[in-house]
């Protein structure tokens, strides 16, 4: 048998199954029955991405199968094999979507099945920053449970997102390993067709971030090949169906590594035989050209970004520190070089061994840094990273910041020998590693003595926080001489540029003006560059000749004009990883804002994913704009159209999140008290008529404003 015979044979088999399944469904439900995956604006995402056609009913699904058939040419050329691989993948998507008929939930814990658009948007930032350096797709059962679990853990320790299909899921469960999106190990499903759910992620990434036009299969495959760092590990025995799926993966640029030696054909860099499963990791990374940032820290538990989302429940915790109940603080302090002893870690007060099981304690850590290029403005930038650093420790959980942080250390971590001083090791190593351009020396003092914590909190930390807040309040777009560009997201959105100003943070919510300034200082040729603002065109729109020139340059000519304060005229582009999106609501002359976490309907008749699909990919879409949560309370939020007075609706949760700051801004700008009470949410209205009635009753100012279009 040749490779062609195996691919074509596998493709034919899957096609036959798909045809049977669709016919069966039509016989059962009738051809007008709706078919869709939940929480996506992209219909059947793979079929839509490849062909540009949205399938909505069984009748259309049957027609789509006819289109798939045209890909299944049988000449013995490489391209025919690849297209048959793609056809196999599309058939898998059809089989999978049938499982979701009538709103069924075919996947049970721990399996995920279809992944929502929101999951892909969340992956945007970590993928561009290299925090998630790659995506592994593991298929089938490893020779032994130990080998399978070791492989999964090896990827997890590197921060790689691992998706599992088939027998490996049971192996991982048998070993008692925690899985889930929060620890970056995602079991998709046990049928081989479940592999389509990760392909769907890759193809939607191209549509969401890459502005690839649905139906442009050539550009689509180039995008996944160049920009989605995925690869496949397939355990033997490989049947023809898996081989055909593998051809599809290779067509998308994803190499396949297997331990199958029988009846297999090697394709350099694409289909690789590696008999030793313990070498799958190294072989895969080499084939996909993935580089791993190594942070070696001397602690008794693992340290990897994959553990960032890990949650420690009360019953699993050894001890807890809680700034909302007792005095806690976390602080970076710039010192003179003579005051800092590099890598010195001191614990003042009891160690974990001296604390009672399940007890609540005080903790305050002061990270003293010194460096020629260090500026006090970088202190909060470094401090804000503590959350990530401490969370990356396996078995340690951190939330909050400043003097409101909360930390839990798990019983498992404690039993492994984890101590308070190891928090110091982690802070030291991470700060030195990430901020080496500004931090020459770093020393950590950790206080657990309650009286010392009280002193540090009230006498040292809080006065510093207050000073910083005063400084932040005076940081306005007018008060600074330069803005910064950010092009980190160009890894996925090649023409996208964020212009970051003091009053407008990056749309991902993760890059403030201070962050951009620090990033520029740390890496002068990196993603954040200085943009001067010496030649204003229109202050109200926030347009500048300098800004236009910068975006032209950084978008390689794709963008000509960008305004900072308008969503109608030359609005800033969106990459796809925005925290929120706002869109015009014509009946009220206002805008509706939805956040990524919101799963319900908005008065625009669109969900978040549907609104989000209107923009992204680095293109300008007047009337729709992605932005960060904190931008909502900015005095510059669509200032050109009248500002925050235009906001008529937000999900309740988001409204509560921004209430304090938004109300303060409304009070300062317009003298309105408790502005958020005038703004609708899903408990008030999910359609425009009810919303307008509510706004009328509340006397919402937008109703009296000029129409936006």
Q: Is 205 in the site for ligand SF4 (CB under 6 A)?
A: no
The residue (of 124 and 159) whose beta carbon lies closer to Ni ion is 124
Smallest gap from residue 308 Cβ to ligand SF4 (A): 17
Angle at 445 between CA 441 and CA 450, to 5 degrees: 165
Least distance from C-beta 500 to ligand SF4, angstroms? 6
Asked if residue 488 binds ligand SF4 (CB under 6 A), the reply is yes
Considering the rule CB under 6 A, would residue 625 count as an interface residue with ligand SF4? Answer: no
Q: Which is nearer to ligand SF4, 321 or 513 (CB)?
A: 513
Q: Does 248 bind ligand SF4 (CB under 6 A)?
A: no
Check binding of 427 to ligand SF4 (CB under 6 A): no
Sign of CA dihedral 533, 538, 540, 542: negative
**Both ends of the chain: CA-CA distance in Å?**
64
* 491 near ligand SF4, rule: CB under 6 A: no
Determine how many CB atoms are found less than 10 A away from the CB of residue 459.
Answer: 9
Q: Enter the tokens of residue 478.
A: 């007018």
**Partner interacting with residue 327 (select from ligand SF4, Ni ion, none; CB below 5-8 Å by kind):** Ni ion
Instruction: Retrieve residue 218's tokens.
Output: 């050539």
Residues in the interface with ligand SF4 (CB under 6 A) total: 14
510 contact choice in Ni ion, ligand SF4, none (CB below 5 to 8 Å, kind-dependent): ligand SF4
* Partner whose footprint covers residue 157, from ligand SF4, Ni ion, none (CB < 5 to 8 Å by kind): none
Nearer to Ni ion, 124 or 140 (CB): 124
Q: How far is the CB of 554 from ligand SF4 (least distance, A)?
A: 10
Choices 208-216, 364-372, 482-490, 613-621; region in contact with ligand SF4 by CB under 6 A: 482-490
Helix or strand (DSSP H, E) at 434: helix 420-434
Q: What is the closest distance, in whole angstroms, from the C-beta atom of residue 455 to Ni ion in the complex? A: 10
Tokens of 369: 């840094």
Which of 427, 550, 577, 695 is the binder for ligand SF4 (CB under 6 A)? 577
| Minimum distance from residue 168 beta carbon to Ni ion (Å) | 31
* Beta strand segments in 316-422, E: 317-322, 329-334, 345-348, 359-361, 364-370, 396-399, 406-410
| CA dist 183 → 126, 311, 392, 405, 472 (Å) | 13, 9, 10, 21, 34
Residues 113-152 that bind ligand SF4 (CB under 6 A): 125
- Give dist(CA 77, CA 300) in Å, integer: 53
Among 95, 230, 511, 702, binds ligand SF4 (CB under 6 A): 511
Separation CA 266–CA 256 (nearest Å)? 10
- Taking a C-beta distance cutoff of 8 angstroms, is the pair 342, 442 a contact? yes
User: Which of 208, 390, 507, 572 touches ligand SF4 (CB under 6 A)?
Assistant: 507
In angstroms, the CA 157 to CA 302 distance is 7
Q: Where are the alpha helices (DSSP H) in 99-167?
A: 117-129, 145-157
Secondary element (H or E) of residue 593? strand 590-595
Report d(CA 350, CA 450) in Å as an integer.
10
Nearest to 500, CA basis, from 584, 381, 676: 381
- Rounded CA gap, 155 and 136, in Å? 8
Choose, by CB under 6 A, the member of 210, 506, 542, 571 that binds ligand SF4. 506
Q: How far is the CB of 206 from ligand SF4 (least distance, A)?
A: 17
Q: Of residues 575, 591, 593, 611, which one binds ligand SF4 by CB under 6 A? A: 575
Q: Least Å distance between CB 67 and Ni ion? A: 32
Per CB under 5 A, residues contacting Ni ion are 124, 327, 489, 575, 577
Contact residues toward ligand SF4 (CB under 6 A) are 125, 486-489, 498, 500, 506-508, 510-511, 575, 577
């Amino acid at each position: 048998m040749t490779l062609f015979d195996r691919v074509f044979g596998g493709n034919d088999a899957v096609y036959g199954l798909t045809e049977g399944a669709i016919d069966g469904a039509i016989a059962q439900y009738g051809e007008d029955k709706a078919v869709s995956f939940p929480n996506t604006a992209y219909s059947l995402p793979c079929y839509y991405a490849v062909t540009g056609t949205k399938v909505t009913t069984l009748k259309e699904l049957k027609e789509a199968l006819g289109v798939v058939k045209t890909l299944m040419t049988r000449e013995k050329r490489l391209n025919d094999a690849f297209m048959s691989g793609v056809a196999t993948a599309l058939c898998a998507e059809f089989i999978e979507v049938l499982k979701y008929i009538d709103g069924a939930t075919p996947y049970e814990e721990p399996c995920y099945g279809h992944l929502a658009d929101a999951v892909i948007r969340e992956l945007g930032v970590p993928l561009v920053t290299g925090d998630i350096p790659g995506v592994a797709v593991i298929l089938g059962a490893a020779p032994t449970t130990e080998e399978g679990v070791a492989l999964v853990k090896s990827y997890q320790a590197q921060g790689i997102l691992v998706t599992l299909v088939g027998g490996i899921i049971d192996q991982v469960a048998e070993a008692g390993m925690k899985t889930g999106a929060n620890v970056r190990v995602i079991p998709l499903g046990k049928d081989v067709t479940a592999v389509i759910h990760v392909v769907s992620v890759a193809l939607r990434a191209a549509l969401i971030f890459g502005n690839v036009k649905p139906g442009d299969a050539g550009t689509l495959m180039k995008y996944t090949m160049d920009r989605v760092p995925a690869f496949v590990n397939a355990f033997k025995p490989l049947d023809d169906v898996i081989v055909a799926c593998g051809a599809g993966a290779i067509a998308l640029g994803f190499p396949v590594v297997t331990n199958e030696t029988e009846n297999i054909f090697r394709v350099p860099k694409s289909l690789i035989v590696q008999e030793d499963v313990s070498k799958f990791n190294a072989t895969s990374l080499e084939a996909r050209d993935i580089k791993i940032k190594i942070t070696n820290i001397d602690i008794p538990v693992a340290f990897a970004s994959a553990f960032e989302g890990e949650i420690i429940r009360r019953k699993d915790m050894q001890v807890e520190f809680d700034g909302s109940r007792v005095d806690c603080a976390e602080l970076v302090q710039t010192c003179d070089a003579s005051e800092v002893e590099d890598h010195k870690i001191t614990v003042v007060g009891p160690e974990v061994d001296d604390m009672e099981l399940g007890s609540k304690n005080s903790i305050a850590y002061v990270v003293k840094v010194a460096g020629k290029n260090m500026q006090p403005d970088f202190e909060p930038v470094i401090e804000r990273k503590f959350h990530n650093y401490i969370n990356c420790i396996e078995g340690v959980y951190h939330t909050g910041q400043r003097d409101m942080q909360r930390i839990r250390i798990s019983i498992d971590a404690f039993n492994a020998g984890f101590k308070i001083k190891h928090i110091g090791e982690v802070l030291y190593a991470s700060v030195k590693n990430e901020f080496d351009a500004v931090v020459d020396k770093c020393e950590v003092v950790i206080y657990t003595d309650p009286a010392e914590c009280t002193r540090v909190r009230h006498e040292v930390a809080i006065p510093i926080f207050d000073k910083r807040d005063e400084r932040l309040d005076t940081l306005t777009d007018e008060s600074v001489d330069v803005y910064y560009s950010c092009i980190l997201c160009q890894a996925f959105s090649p023409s996208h540029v964020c212009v970051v100003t003091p009053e407008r943070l990056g749309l991902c919510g993760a890059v403030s003006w201070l962050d951009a300034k620090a990033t520029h200082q740390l890496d002068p040729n990196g993603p954040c560059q200085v943009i001067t603002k010496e030649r204003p065109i229109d202050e109200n729109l926030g347009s500048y000749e300098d800004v236009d020139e910068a975006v032209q340059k950084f978008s390689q000519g794709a963008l000509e004009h960008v305004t900072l304060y308008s969503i109608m005229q030359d609005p800033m582009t969106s990459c796809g990883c925005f925290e929120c999106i706002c869109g015009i609501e014509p009946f009220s002359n206002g805008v509706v804002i939805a956040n990524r976490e919101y799963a319900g309907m908005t008065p625009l008749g669109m969900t978040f994913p549907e609104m989000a699909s209107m923009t992204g990919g680095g293109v300008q879409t007047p009337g729709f704009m992605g932005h960060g949560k904190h931008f909502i309370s900015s005095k510059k939020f669509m200032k050109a159209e009248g500002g925050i007075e235009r906001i008529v609706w937000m999900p309740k949760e988001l409204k509560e999140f921004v209430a304090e700051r938004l109300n303060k801004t409304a009070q300062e700008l317009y003298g309105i008290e408790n502005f958020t009470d005038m703004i609708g949410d899903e408990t008030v209205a999910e359609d425009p008529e009810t919303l307008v009635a509510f706004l009328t009753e509340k006397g919402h100012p937008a109703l009296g404003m000029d129409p936006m279009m």
